[in-house]
Amino acid sequence: MMIYEQIATGGCQSYLLGCSETCAAVVIDPEISQVDRYLGLAAHDGLRIRYLIDTHTHADHFSGTRQLARQLGVPVVMHRESPAPFVDMRLDDGDMVLVGRLRLRVIHTPGHTRDSMCLHVEDRLFTGDTLLIGATGRTDLPTGDPEALYNSLFRGILRLDTALKVHPAHDYKGGVHSTIARELAENPRLQKRDRAAFVDMMRNLNLTMPTHITEALRSNMSGGKTIAHLLAEAAAAVPFMSLAELKARVEAAGENLIVLDVRERDAYEKGHIPRARLLPRGQLELRVNDDLPDPTRRILAYCEFGRISTLATATLRELGYQRAVALDGGMKAWREAGYPLKSGSEP
Ligand SMILES: [Fe+2]
């Protein structure tokens, strides 16, 4: 029996499929912000994740395959056309991935991207962005091709058993279930069954670019981190101090806390936290030896929004300043709270 979980991140859909007999499982199209949820669901269902599959190179969300693969020591699986260098197992049309007793059959469906594939398992078809409920994947992003999509649909998956359930990588309505038969009957994009008319329609959709496309492609194609991931890693490695706590400590003279403003000089001079020293983030590594000779001192770093100071604090901790903390918030929140400000250059 198949254990099935659908996990939505906004409109992005991912799936955890498990074999109840062997407890082996696979995640299809994991999203990076949901990594803990997949692990939690798998544990809750008594499953062990064996494979991480991306149906294609996503341009609109951040894939969690690589991070999960690292944590679990299991392979990242994609079609062989994927440009990502970290793919461990590359698949061809007609290949099967065995997940316990489940058999996931690969159908190469280029069009939305060159590396798109659908996965057929029992009575379900995981369509990636090839076929969506009431739509198709777009073909105007890198490696998209409307002619190829026409073939993948009308000469490919739409000829499969029409009772197959359709599970796309995107669905903005949520909780909607569909089948090949229903899509053939109701999906407006599938009503143009003539190749030229279909291609013409796909070329003239004039869709807006997905947000974060540059970052999503960079991260998904290289395995590099997203900015949010980089910040989350830094935040996980440092403690924080609240604005109110810092205010109390700044006001209590004699407190042995070094307050570092890691913004640029002009921002510092316009208004900074009383007693703060200026040490711009860009100069941190160059100046720590002179400016912060005692690694046992308690140091608090702050910036405008609380992100750069988190990175700075993580760097300080890496350098051995084991009492470095980051401000939970930044100067913006400090000003908005009406807390005391000082302007002008350093004392
Ligand atoms: Fe996509």
12 C-alpha vs ligand 1 centroid, how far in Å? Answer: 9
66 C-alpha vs ligand 1 centroid, how far in Å? Answer: 17
224 C-alpha vs ligand 1 centroid, how far in Å? Answer: 18
> 155: helix, coil or strand?
coil
Q: Which residues contact 335 (CB under 8 A, 6 or more apart)?
A: 271, 341
Q: Note the pLDDT tens digit of each residue in 177-191.
A: 799 999 999 999 999
26 C-alpha vs ligand 1 centroid, how far in Å? Answer: 19
75 C-alpha vs ligand 1 centroid, how far in Å? Answer: 21
96 C-alpha vs ligand 1 centroid, how far in Å? Answer: 22
Length of the chain: 347
| Amino acid letter, residue 285 | E
Distance (Å) of CA 120 to CA 41, 93, 161, 175, 341:
22, 11, 11, 20, 62
56 C-alpha vs ligand 1 centroid, how far in Å? Answer: 7
Q: How many CB atoms lie within 10 A of CB 154?
A: 17
pTM of the model: 0.86
2 C-alpha vs ligand 1 centroid, how far in Å? Answer: 26
Q: Note the pLDDT tens digit of each residue in 277-312.
A: 999 999 999 999 999 999 999 999 999 999 999 999
Helices 308-318 and 227-236: crossing angle in degrees, nearest 10, is: 50
Please determine, for residue 30, whether its predicted confidence score (pLDDT) is greater than 70.
Answer: yes
241 C-alpha vs ligand 1 centroid, how far in Å? Answer: 40
234 C-alpha vs ligand 1 centroid, how far in Å? Answer: 29
116 C-alpha vs ligand 1 centroid, how far in Å? Answer: 8
**Which residue is associated with the tokens 């409109």?**
11
214 C-alpha vs ligand 1 centroid, how far in Å? Answer: 13
Band (pLDDT 50/70/90 cuts) for residue 173 is confident
59 C-alpha vs ligand 1 centroid, how far in Å? Answer: 6
* Percent of the chain predicted with pLDDT > 70: 98
Distance CA 92, CA 72 (A): 24
